[in-house]
């Protein structure tokens, strides 16, 4: 048996932090060496950080990345490693996976497929490698297979795996036995299961070992990468990493038998015929690293194959004929837990990587959005410094309740205080009644009389007083103000500019209101938080006017969120959205649903200017309204034709 130990490392990096990124990559490489790994895969653009955006145009980025790569290579004797970095060739920028072997950079594989959809704009900055091989910084670059002492390996980069015609196919038919993929694939709930299916499918159809390593953490503020990784053969997953860890890097290893890969290829006539047909047409070249590095250089001693054989046998199924079974898992709970943990990871990483904050500041109202933000802040504080600061988490989370006594209820104060107390964090009460009265008087002066101050202005001035107080508090406390607005509010502009949509970071701006409720319900059970029952018992309300409730102002959130998904997510016409609602919500009158759909359409189209001003947030769902990541919606436009069509559509 030709037994090879393969490793996949997830690493949390920061854009432009070449020394810090290489320190974490180096730590993962060092652990791989201690575990006698032959071949290690690390994430896409791990040296520079993935979300470089327009910073890639500064020439020093490629230069510093290469210097960092060579420094990393000098400490990597004893293991072969794929490392991601940007390179410049003939004035164009390419996304590369560099192979380090024997403490030298042996060559570069360049990314072919550049996603320019959804949140991705790689076509703006990067060049796609067409085909063939060139020279970059003195080493071959392009379509390569590397002949290493234990077998032939190649790589592809992130989107290459998702493409209809993966470049790995040609490289496998050119002889590669192991395909390595360094990725920066952003999180959405349960997406890792989809990645696993892709990796298993590639290993099976290409008859190869496929090793996949994903980026970890929040690398430049908006995208959250869940880490994880797989080592798969045609027979299944050999090793798998957990996603969303608190650690800054993780490593998983597994033993594979390359002689078994050779046997399967020899026995598979379809594979043999495809390889023979494509081999002569391929632009892939093989770099014989063994011959290149032949000489008196002393090589590290490799472990005995016997121990690897024992590990391989241990990993075999208990029964070769019956499938292994596991207890049924609740997919909804898994979805909600992954989403919650991703929000925590993104918030923690933003706090740490910005590096200027001492604590999280949360204005708790007794409502659901601020309750969820407080839960996230507490868990993020417990995860600081890889969880080593958990005993001091309460020092990092400060809360306040800012009532306007004429409108704020005892129930909301009790809910807010009970939650803060149960979570073990401070709770301050500071009235805004005096400031709201002053703001109302000044508004009256500007308008020439209090009777000319509109009801909307009376409501919003309270939110603006609270917003100013929170920002002033942040200046004094070196705090990160968490904005508590959700995706449903962003969709219809149900926020106050200069008020509740102002702050340092908006952790739930990509989470619709109905999902906020489900997350709280799940958190109450998952973490045994009794006080959340008080929060969930109350109808959502901003408490800015007597008897106000959010759903009376807008529409039931279940309707609003359905419209948001259908219109913004599925790009359906408003009339079709209404017809879907009629079939989904038979307990509501069709004309009422039409009215709500008309309201939604007007508010959605007229609220883009507000969405352009929202604070930094993280993307965790496919549906995304952040204009900086995934939703380029015009600010000035008309949807009157759609509204007219909906208004006159027959029932």
Domain count, the chain: 2
Say if residue 241 is in the same domain as residue 342. no
pLDDT, tens digit (0-9, with 9 covering 90-100), for 392-402? 999 999 999 99
H/E element holding 533?
A: helix 532-537
16: which 2 tokens?
A: 């432009």
| Confidence tier at 327 by pLDDT (50, 70, 90) | low
Q: Which of 314, 340, 364 is the last residue of a domain?
A: 314
Strands 216-218 and 224-226, by their bridges, are: antiparallel
The answer to whether residue 431 sits within a structural domain is yes
Say if residue 271 is in the same domain as residue 341. no
The answer to whether residue 88 sits within a structural domain is yes
Say if residue 555 is in the same domain as residue 444. yes
Strand order in the sheet with 39-41: 133-136, 139-142, 104-110, 92-101, 80-89, 39-41, 3-11, 249-257
Taking the C-alpha atoms of residue 472 and residue 459, their distance in angstroms, rounded to an integer, is: 21
The answer to whether residue 115 sits within a structural domain is yes
Amino acid 588: pLDDT: 96
Question: How far apart, in Å, are the Cα atoms of 249 and each of 8, 401, 471?
Answer: 11, 38, 34
pLDDT, tens digit (0-9, with 9 covering 90-100), for 612-646? 888 989 999 999 898 887 787 888 888 899 999 99
Say if residue 351 is in the same domain as residue 299. no
Say if residue 154 is in the same domain as residue 183. yes
Say if residue 297 is in the same domain as residue 381. no
Check which CATH number belongs to the domain holding 481 and give it. 3.40.50.620
Which single residue is written with the structure tokens 């809910």? 415
646 with 597: CB under 8 angstroms? yes
| Confidence tier at 298 by pLDDT (50, 70, 90) | very low
pLDDT, tens digit (0-9, with 9 covering 90-100), for 405-440? 889 999 999 999 999 999 999 999 999 999 999 999
pLDDT, tens digit (0-9, with 9 covering 90-100), for 102-150? 999 999 999 999 998 888 889 989 999 999 999 999 999 999 999 999 9
Taking the C-alpha atoms of residue 38 and residue 81, their distance in angstroms, rounded to an integer, is: 8
Q: What mean pLDDT do residues 559-585 have?
A: 94
Give me the DSSP letters along 392-428: GGGGGEEEEE---TTT--HHHHHHHHHHHHHHT---E
Taking the C-alpha atoms of residue 591 and residue 612, their distance in angstroms, rounded to an integer, is: 32
| Confidence tier at 304 by pLDDT (50, 70, 90) | low
The answer to whether residue 321 sits within a structural domain is no
Q: Find the radius of gyration of the CA atoms of the chain.
A: 28
Give me the DSSP letters along 584-645: H-TTS-HHHHHHHHHHHHHHHHHTHHHHTTPPPB-B-SS----TTTT----SS---HHHHHH
The answer to whether residue 327 sits within a structural domain is no
pLDDT, tens digit (0-9, with 9 covering 90-100), for 32-58? 999 999 999 999 999 999 989 889 988
Check which CATH number belongs to the domain holding 301 and give it. 3.60.110.10
Average pLDDT, the chain: 93
DSSP state of 479: E
Amino acid 388: pLDDT: 96
4 with 37: CB under 8 angstroms? no
Amino acid 626: pLDDT: 87
Amino acid 157: pLDDT: 97
Amino acid 319: pLDDT: 67
Structural domain boundaries, residue 596: 332-648
Bridge partners for 257 per DSSP? 3
Taking the C-alpha atoms of residue 629 and residue 103, their distance in angstroms, rounded to an integer, is: 38
| Confidence tier at 321 by pLDDT (50, 70, 90) | low
Amino acid 325: pLDDT: 62
pLDDT at 301 over 60: no
Say if residue 168 is in the same domain as residue 248. yes
pLDDT, tens digit (0-9, with 9 covering 90-100), for 185-241? 999 999 999 999 999 999 999 999 999 999 999 987 789 999 999 999 999 999 999
């Amino acid at each position: 048996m030709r037994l090879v130990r393969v490793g996949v490392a997830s690493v949390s990096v920061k854009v432009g932090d070449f020394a810090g990124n290489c320190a974490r990559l180096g730590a993962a490489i060092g652990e791989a060496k201690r575990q006698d790994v032959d071949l290690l895969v690390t994430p896409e653009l791990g040296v520079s950080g993935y979300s470089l955006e327009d910073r890639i145009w500064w020439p020093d980025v490629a230069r510093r990345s290469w210097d960092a790569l060579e420094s990393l290579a000098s400490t990597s004797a004893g293991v072969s490693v794929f490392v991601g970095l940007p390179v410049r060739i003939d004035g164009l920028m390419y996304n590369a996976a560099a192979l380090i072997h024997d403490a030298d950079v042996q060559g570069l594989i360049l990314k072919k497929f550049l996603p320019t959809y959804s949140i991705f704009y790689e076509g703006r900055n990067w060049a796609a490698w067409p085909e063939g091989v060139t020279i970059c910084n003195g080493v071959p670059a392009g379509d390569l297979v590397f002949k290493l002492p234990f077998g032939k390996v190649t790589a592809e980069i992130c989107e290459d795996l998702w493409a209809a015609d993966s470049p790995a196919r040609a490289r496998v038919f050119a002889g590669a036995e192991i395909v390595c993929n360094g990725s920066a694939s952003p999180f959405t709930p349960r997406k890792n299961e989809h990645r696993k299916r892709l990796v298993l499918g590639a290993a099976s159809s290409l008859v190869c070992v496929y090793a996949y390593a994903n980026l970890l953490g929040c690398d430049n503020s908006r995208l959250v990468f869940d880490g994880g990784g797989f080592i798969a053969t045609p027979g299944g997953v050999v090793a798998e990493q957990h996603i969303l860890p608190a650690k800054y890097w993780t490593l998983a290893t597994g033993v594979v038998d390359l002689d078994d890969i050779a046997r399967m290829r020899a026995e598979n006539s379809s594979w043999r015929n495809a390889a023979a047909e494509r081999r002569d047409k391929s632009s892939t070249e093989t770099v014989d690293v063994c011959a290149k590095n032949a000489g008196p250089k002393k090589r590290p001693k490799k472990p005995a194959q016997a121990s690897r054989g024992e590990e391989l046998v241990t990993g075999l199924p208990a029964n070769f004929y019956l499938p292994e079974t596991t207890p049924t898992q609740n997919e909804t709970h898994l979805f909600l837990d992954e989403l919650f943990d991703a929000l925590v990871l993104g918030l923690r990483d933003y706090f740490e990587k910005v590096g200027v904050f001492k604590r999280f500041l949360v204005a708790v109202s007794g409502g659901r959005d601020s309750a969820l933000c407080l839960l996230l802040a507490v868990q993020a504080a417990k995860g600081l410094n890889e969880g080593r600061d958990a005993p001091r988490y309460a020092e990092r989370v400060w809360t306040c309740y800012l009532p306007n006594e004429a409108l704020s209820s005892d129930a909301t104060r009790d809910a807010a205080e009970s939650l803060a107390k149960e979570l073990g964090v401070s709770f301050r009460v500071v009235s805004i009644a005096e400031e709201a009265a002053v703001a109302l008087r000044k508004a009256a002066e500007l308008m020439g009389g209090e009777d000319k101050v509109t009801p909307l202005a009376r409501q919003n001035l309270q939110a603006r007083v609270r917003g100013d107080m929170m920002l002033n508090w942040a200046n004094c406390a070196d705090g990160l103000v968490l904005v508590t607005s959700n995706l449903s509010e962003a969709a219809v502009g149900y926020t106050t500019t200069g008020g509740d949509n102002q702050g340092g970071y908006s952790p739930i701006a990509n989470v619709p209101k109905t999902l906020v409720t489900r997350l709280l319900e799940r958190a109450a059970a998952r973490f045994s938080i009794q006080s959340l029952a008080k929060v969930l018992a109350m109808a959502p309300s901003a408490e800015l006017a007597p008897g106000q409730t959010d759903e009376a102002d807008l529409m039931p959130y279940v309707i609003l969120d359905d419209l948001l998904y259908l219109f913004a997510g599925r790009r359906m016409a408003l009339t079709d959205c209404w017809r879907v609602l009629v079939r989904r919500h038979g307990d509501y009158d069709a004309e009422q649903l039409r009215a709500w759909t008309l309201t939604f359409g007007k508010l959605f189209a007229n609220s883009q200017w507000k969405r352009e001003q929202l604070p930094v947030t993280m993307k965790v769902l496919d549906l995304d309204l952040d204009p900086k990541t995934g939703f380029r919606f015009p600010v000035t436009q008309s949807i009157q034709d759609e509204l007219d069509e909906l208004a006159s559509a027959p029932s």
